[in-house]
Amino acid sequence: MRLLRSTDLALRVLMRLAVVADSTPTTRQVAADMDVPYTHAAKVVAELQHLGLVDARRGRGGGLALTERGRAASVGAVVRTFEGDGDVVDCEGTQGTPACPLRSGCRLRGALRGAQEAFFAALDSVTIGDLVAEPTGPLLLGISRRPGLD
């Protein structure tokens, strides 16, 4: 299973904020740190804020901070939220492709759904705080902004 770019970025933003508790980087700084477009980071941060995982303040003295809820958040819950609950394959043809002619009697869809749930379940017991334990935390602290992207 491959995660959407927004899911990957959401997890990386949460991890980054989990190790910078003494500072409040801006969305622009986080985007530069993660080497992603600002607009993409801004959309992800807005969703994380809506979920109550990130506190985002505008203006002078503003920036991003991980909430307690964000630190304790289940990785499985974050992934489910960003990935949605759709099937791994589009058997019904809802995404512009023809519906599968085998859909009425195929067992693949159920097997893939079971695998998807097992994937999420494996992530349910892991928190954002767990992800930044040694050796990851110090690596995240070592990420520096690229010059000229402020």
Average pLDDT over residues 114-141: 86
Give the mean pLDDT of the chain.
86
Looking at the structure, give the CATH architecture of the domain made up of residues 5-87+127-144: Orthogonal Bundle (1.10)
Average confidence (pLDDT) over 121-133: 93
Q: In the chain, what percentage of residues exceed pLDDT 90?
A: 49
Confidence (pLDDT) at 121 = 94
pLDDT at residue number 12: 92
49, with CB counted inside 10 A (0-12, 13-18, 19+), is middle
Partners of 82 in the β-ladder = none
Q: Does this model's pTM top 0.85?
A: no
> What is the domain partition of the chain in residue ranges?
5-87+127-144
- The answer to whether residues 13 and 30 touch, using CB atoms and an 8 Å cutoff, is yes
Residues contacting residue 46 through CB under 8 Å, at least 6 positions apart: 56
The pLDDT of residue 22 is 63
